[in-house]
């Protein structure tokens, strides 16, 4: 199981379309652009929009909290296990 954290505060549980791992296209669709991987302390990955700050995407409070506010995360994100990303 993976989780999408939207900028409006919505949290959505999700699974890859093939049931195993997210394709690049799926991840890009979720974040709305090019992806960047942020490694979380719990071993999970956070997939973010690489150009979120440059493009002025809205602040994602929940995602920023997950990284301990060490960085401000902009835009919708996907949080999943490393094995779910090829």
Cα separation, 65 vs 16, whole angstroms: 24
Q: pLDDT digit of tens for each residue in the chain (86 aa)?
A: 899 999 999 999 999 999 999 999 999 999 999 999 999 999 999 999 999 999 999 999 999 999 998 899 999 999 999 999 98
Question: Residues 29, 12: contact at Cβ < 8 Å?
Answer: no
pLDDT of the residue at 65:
96
Alpha-carbon distance 16 to 8, whole Å?
A: 22
Please give the structure tokens belonging to residue 5.
């954290």
pLDDT given for residue 6 in this prediction: 98
Q: Looking at residue 1, what is its pLDDT? A: 87
pLDDT at 86: 82
């Amino acid at each position: 199981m993976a989780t999408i954290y939207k900028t409006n505060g919505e949290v959505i549980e999700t699974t890859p379309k093939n049931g195993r791992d997210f394709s690049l296209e799926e991840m890009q669709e979720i974040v709305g652009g090019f992806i960047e991987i942020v490694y979380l302390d719990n071993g999970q990955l956070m997939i973010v929009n690489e150009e979120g700050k440059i493009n002025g995407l809205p602040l994602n409070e929940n995602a920023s909290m997950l990284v301990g506010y060490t960085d401000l995360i902009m835009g919708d994100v996907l949080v999943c296990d490393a094995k779910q990303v090829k």
